[in-house]
Amino acid sequence: SRSRSKSKRVSGFDMAPPASALLPTATAAAVPGIGQLPGVPAI
Amino acid sequence: CSRLHNRPTISPTLLLCNMYQRPDMITPGIDAQGNPIDPRQIQEHFEDFYEDIFEELSKYGEIESLNVCDNLADHMIGNVYVEFRKEEEAAAALRGLQGRFYSGKPIIVEFSPVTDFREATCR
């Protein structure tokens, strides 16, 4: 019989944004445009 | 692209916008921290992603084809096109994926007019 030794990774589905990305001190690597946009006042 | 493509109300093909993000998306071969990445690692990352979405999308129906853009250019970056055998399956997947997250990013899903990927060029 064939067995897969490689354990299954956790799927990325339903992985919510990390809490750090929601803080204003998010790392520089954080990609902009994710999640909710901050309220931009209209001119 | 800048052209206004028509968005069909129903199609066997779905477009998952900007879903795949290469680990070296900022600079080719370099990760976000500035460290070089082994090309094998990038390949593995891609395969893991492909496996994830294939598995999830299979829950909604039979997949005819699954295309992932792993490009670095802005155009269509990270777009995933999935063609189901039946339109109803695509519709079920669209409903099932809307409002969910993948790897911390919201999933943006819509019907795509593409039904034949060999012919899929912007005209």
B52 lies in some domain: yes
| Residue B95 phi, psi dihedral angles, 5° rounding | -65, -40
Positive or negative, the CA dihedral B19, B24, B26, B31 is: positive
Please report, in angstroms and rounded to a whole number, the separation of the first and last CA atoms in chain B: 11
Distance from CA of B74 to the nearest CA of A (A): 14
B1 lies in some domain: no
A15 to B104: CB separation less than 8 angstroms, yes or no? yes
B8 lies in some domain: no
B85 lies in some domain: yes
CA B32 to mean position of chain CA atoms: 21
Scanning B6-45 for CB atoms below 8 A from A yields 21, 32-33
B101 to A15: CB separation less than 8 angstroms, yes or no? yes
Domains held by chain B: number: 1
CATH of the domain at B36: 3.30.70.330
Count chain A–chain B contacts defined by CB atoms under 8 A.
Answer: 34
pLDDT tens per residue across all 123 residues of chain B: 667 777 889 999 999 999 999 999 889 999 989 999 999 999 999 999 999 999 999 999 999 999 999 888 888 889 999 999 999 999 999 999 999 999 999 999 999 988 777 776 665
Range of the domain at B110: 13-119
Q: Evaluate if residue A13 carries a pLDDT over 90.
A: yes
